[in-house]
Amino acid sequence: MITKLRSQDQGALAELIRQYGDYVLQVIWHQLPSSYERSYTSDIANRCYFQIWSKISTFDETRGNFKTWLGAIVKHQAIDYQRGLNATFKQMDIADMVIPTAPPDEPLELGQLLNVLSEKEREIFQLYFEKDLTPEEISQRLRMRRGAVYKHLSRARHKLQQEAVKNDFGN
């Protein structure tokens, strides 16, 4: 299989996935503890297979076995992806969120608009916008990861924007 991978045989790539696919997933999941991070498993696995495909020439049988080499590549790809996700959360500016408003001639009932949100999204949304808590403070108060708070805020914003378009509210 390694010889075929080195010659860029696509059948060998399929064989690699069949033979080591479960191992690749195990290594990824070991590195990514949260369900949010694990939702990117297929993207990370694809990146791993690309790295293996493009770097197979660096594998040296005299320095170790293939499974160890493969595990190192998968581990580093998962860590790099996780760092990227963490950087995204740090750069995400919730303050720039656009909240839909009602047309001037119609009063908008905020409670009615928030009905499209799940109970958890509504709670987090209200803590953020009404109580003016930071995502870190919300995560501590609700005993959840900061990333989950950002995820709920993002989903809430998306749902509210969809509701605004559906009801023809202006921005």
pTM over 0.85: no
Amino acid making up residue 68: T
- Please state which CATH class domain 94-166 belongs to: mainly alpha
Q: With bands split at pLDDT 50, 70 and 90, how would you rate the model's confidence at 171? A: very low
- Tell me the mean pLDDT in the region 20-31: 92
The predicted pLDDT at position 85 comes to: 74
Three-state secondary structure readout of the chain: CHHHHHCCCHHHHHHHHHHHHHHHHHHHHHHCCCHHHHCCHHHHHHHHHHHHHHHHHHCCCCCCCHHHHHHHHHHHHHHHHHHHHHHHHHHCCHHHCCCCECCCCCCCCHHHHHCCCCHHHHHHHHHHHCCCCCHHHHHHHHCCCHHHHHHHHHHHHHHHHHHHHHCCCEC
Tens of pLDDT along 99-124?
555 455 554 455 566 778 888 988 88
What residue segments make up the domains of the chain, in order of their start?
2-91, 94-166
Q: What is the pLDDT of residue 9?
A: 86
* Same fold: 2-91 with 94-166: no
Query: What are 53-110's pLDDT values in tens digits?
Result: 889 999 988 998 999 999 999 999 999 888 887 766 555 555 555 555 545 555 445 5
Q: What is 2-91's CATH number, 1.10.10.10, 3.40.50.2300, 1.10.3720.10, 1.10.1740.10?
A: 1.10.1740.10
